[in-house]
């Protein structure tokens, strides 16, 4: 997302922000239309996509020229996974045009998710770059200024912590990298000059060397905004504090006012950030900017839900999560969803993804405008005993239990543990603490009770221990998760810990590593 800075005196800083802010008002008014014109906006996105791709090989295959409405589109074009589209994307990488999208696509966002070591290469067309990803960055600023009129956002430096980038590892024509690196590579050169750190540092491949280089480059700058993934930004913040010999980030960067974050839930990290940045002027804005597109922005500091961004050239569909494995699931457009239900998200985009199952699940908290929370992944939940435990339940429970006990959790993952001798089972949690609770048994009991209060299915399975025994906690040694990611070559960027798994693959690897210091 764009960051702006200008060296000037305090008075002119305030004038600058006041001068620039009105230029966002037109966009703010456009966003307000999400509350009343969802069906019209989304219909326009679909028609634009169909028109743009009508003469592509994909568009000819499904006769896009004769699709008149959403019903035609839904009946004619089948749901797609990455494996379904992979042969088409491979041809695009090799320089073929008019495949999924009219143009030759030069850039691809590398995404491996949280469970698969194999990389996916998501096309980043010029259209999705400018009309979706960069537009989302501008809207982040527009909505932030709307919520914080006293901001001095444009007066200082903005620090972006991106992923790794390789200039041309696919072939001579196709370039790839983490989404953040692709976005930084293609930014207007003027923006590259006025943000920190320099481009040569932010695109370094080796994570640990990059962190040290960023610290050295930025520690004496006047930074007031951060952008990145919460877990990795926390690593950077602690490195800055260690280098500066300070306890609080506000002692290093006193004008800090906002952190634009995304990629993983902020809830397990919220208290750690508040402890390191003890300022009532600090704000946290969540975004949903995936390799496949920019889908949501937190537009209210008091509501952690995300506003569904409706006019970024993305057409949304949703599958009720309980039907995700059905041969013919119910599929709903955005205007037909309901609140308090988990849906798997399906997208068609300016990047040439058609009815693509992105793998994320959402739960709407309000309609018109549509606001939602990211509840998890279609493959990242525990339902071994019918409990349907989702990631958002787990994140909230960890945060609430930590507050009740005074503990601080750095990272965690959980998986089912089957007790064959009892024909029952439990959930096994592998937790790395920054601060241990006074009693691990009490922490486990409170975590279990909190999960029951948040999830009625989990509560039902725990009732009289009919299906589920009390959960079990294994304490991770310091650095266990970091070492696990490092072993897999997944330090930094958008790489993340799989919070919940329905099998024991990840937790067994971590348990094995826990034996070695």
Q: What is the mean pLDDT of the chain?
A: 89
Q: Distance between CA atoms of 314 and 289, rounded to whole angstroms?
A: 13
Query: Residue 458 has which token pair?
Result: 């989990």
What number of CA atoms fall less than 13 Å from residue 362's CA on the CB side?
27
Residue 26 tokens read as: 């037109």
Average pLDDT of the segment spanning 321-327: 89
> What does each C-alpha distance from 339 to 37, 326, 342, 343 come to in angstroms?
18, 22, 9, 10
The DSSP call for residue 129 is I
pLDDT at 5 over 90: no
What are residue 315's DSSP bridge partners? 348
| Overall average pLDDT of the 162-187 stretch | 76
What's the pLDDT score for residue 510?
94
Q: State residue 173's pLDDT score.
A: 83
| 8 A C-beta contact, residue 415 and residue 503 | yes
Question: Regarding the domain delimited by 391-513, which CATH topology (the fold level of the hierarchy) does it fall under?
Answer: GMP Synthetase; Chain A, domain 3 (3.30.300)
pLDDT computed for residue 180 by the predictor: 85
Tens digit of each residue's pLDDT (9 = 90 or more) over 333-353: 999 999 999 999 999 999 999
Q: Looking at the predicted structure, is the pLDDT value of residue 253 above 60?
A: yes
pLDDT recorded at residue 225: 96
Q: What are the structural domain ranges in the chain?
A: 10-34+128-297, 391-513
**Residue 164 banded pLDDT, cuts 50, 70, 90:** low
* Of 387 and 254, more confident: 254
For 39-57, write each residue's pLDDT tens digit: 999 999 999 999 999 999 9
Query: At 456, is the pLDDT very low, low, confident or very high (cuts 50, 70, 90)?
Result: confident
**Edge to edge, what strands does the sheet with 472-475 contain?**
408-419, 424-435, 472-475
Q: What is the pLDDT of residue 268?
A: 85
What pLDDT is recorded for position 14?
62
DSSP per-residue letters across 365-409: EETTTTEEEEEEETTBSB-SSS--B-HHHHHHHHHHHHHHHT-EE
Q: What is the mean pLDDT of residues 237-247?
A: 96
pLDDT of 7 > 60? The answer is: no
pLDDT attached to residue 154:
85
294-308, 415-429, 448-462 — most confident range: 294-308
Residues 144, 153 contacting (CB under 8 angstroms): yes
Residue 468 contacts residue 458 (beta carbons within 8 Å): yes
Compute how many other C-beta atoms are within 10 angstroms of the C-beta atom of residue 393: 23
State the pLDDT at residue 316: 98
Confidence (pTM) = 0.83
Residue 99 is predicted with a pLDDT of: 98
pLDDT tens per residue, range 193-211: 678 998 889 888 788 899 9
Q: How sure is the predictor about 17, in pLDDT bands with cuts at 50, 70 and 90?
A: low
- For 216-249, b/e burial (b = at least 16 CB within 10 A) is ebbbebbbbbbbbbbbbbbbbbebbbeebeeebb
Say what percent of the chain tops pLDDT 70: 92
Angle at 68 between CA 312 and CA 92, to 5 degrees: 55
What 8-state DSSP symbol labels residue 22? G
């Amino acid at each position: 997302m764009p960051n702006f800075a200008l060296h000037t005196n305090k008075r002119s800083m305030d004038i600058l922000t006041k001068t620039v802010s009105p230029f966002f008002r037109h966009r703010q008014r456009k966003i307000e239309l999400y509350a009343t014109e969802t069906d019209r906006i989304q219909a326009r996105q679909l028609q634009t996509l169909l028109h743009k791709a009508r003469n592509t090989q994909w568009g000819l295959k499904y006769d896009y020229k004769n699709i008149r409405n959403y019903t035609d589109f839904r009946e004619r074009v089948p749901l797609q996974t990455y494996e379904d589209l992979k042969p088409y994307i491979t041809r695009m990488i090799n320089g073929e045009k008019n495949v999924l999208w009219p143009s030759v696509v030069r850039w691809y966002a590398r995404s491996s998710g949280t469970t698969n070591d194999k990389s996916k290469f998501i096309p980043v067309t010029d259209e999705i770059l400018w009309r979706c990803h960069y537009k989302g960055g501008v809207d982040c600023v527009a909505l932030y200024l709307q919520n914080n009129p006293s901001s001095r956002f444009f007066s200082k430096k903005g620090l972006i912590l991106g992923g790794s980038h390789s200039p041309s590892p696919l072939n001579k024509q196709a370039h790839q990298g983490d989404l953040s690196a692709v976005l930084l590579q293609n930014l207007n050169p003027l923006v590259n000059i006025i943000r920190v750190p320099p481009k040569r540092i932010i695109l370094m491949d080796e994570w640990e060397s990059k962190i040290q280089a960023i610290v050295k480059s930025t520690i004496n700058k006047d930074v007031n905004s951060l952008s990145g993934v919460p877990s990795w930004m926390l690593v950077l913040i602690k490195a800055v504090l260690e280098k500066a010999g300070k306890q609080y980030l506000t002692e290093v960067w006193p004008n800090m006012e906002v952190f634009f974050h995304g990629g993983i839930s902020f809830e397990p990290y919220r208290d750690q950030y508040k402890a390191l940045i003890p300022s009532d002027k600090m704000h946290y804005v969540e975004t949903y900017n995936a390799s496949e597109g920019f889908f949501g922005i937190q537009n209210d500091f008091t509501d952690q839900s995300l506003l569904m961004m409706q006019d970024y050239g993305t057409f949304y569909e949703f599958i009720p999560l309980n039907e995700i494995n059905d041969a013919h699931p119910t599929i709903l457009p955005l205007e037909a969803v309901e609140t308090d239900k988990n849906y798997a998200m399906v997208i068609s985009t300016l990047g040439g993804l058609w009815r693509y199952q992105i793998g994320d699940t959402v739960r709407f908290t309000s309609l018109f405008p549509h606001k939602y929370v990211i509840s998890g992944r279609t493959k990242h939940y525990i339902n071994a005993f019918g409990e349907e435990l989702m990631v958002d339940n787990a994140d909230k429970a960890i945060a609430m239990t930590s507050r009740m006990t005074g503990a601080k959790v750095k990272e965690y993952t959980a998986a089912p543990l089957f007790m064959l001798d009892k024909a029952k089972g439990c959930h096994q949690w592998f937790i790395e603490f920054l601060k241990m609770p006074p009693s691990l048994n009490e922490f486990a009991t409170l975590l279990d009770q909190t999960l029951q209060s948040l999830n009625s299915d989990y509560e039902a399975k725990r009732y009289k221990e009919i299906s589920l025994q009390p959960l079990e906690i294994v304490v991770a040694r310091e650095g266990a998760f970091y070492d696990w990611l490092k072993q897999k070559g997944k330090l930094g960027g958008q790489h993340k810990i799989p919070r919940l798994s329905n099998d024991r693959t990840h937790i067994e690897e971590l348990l094995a590593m826990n034996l070695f210091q």
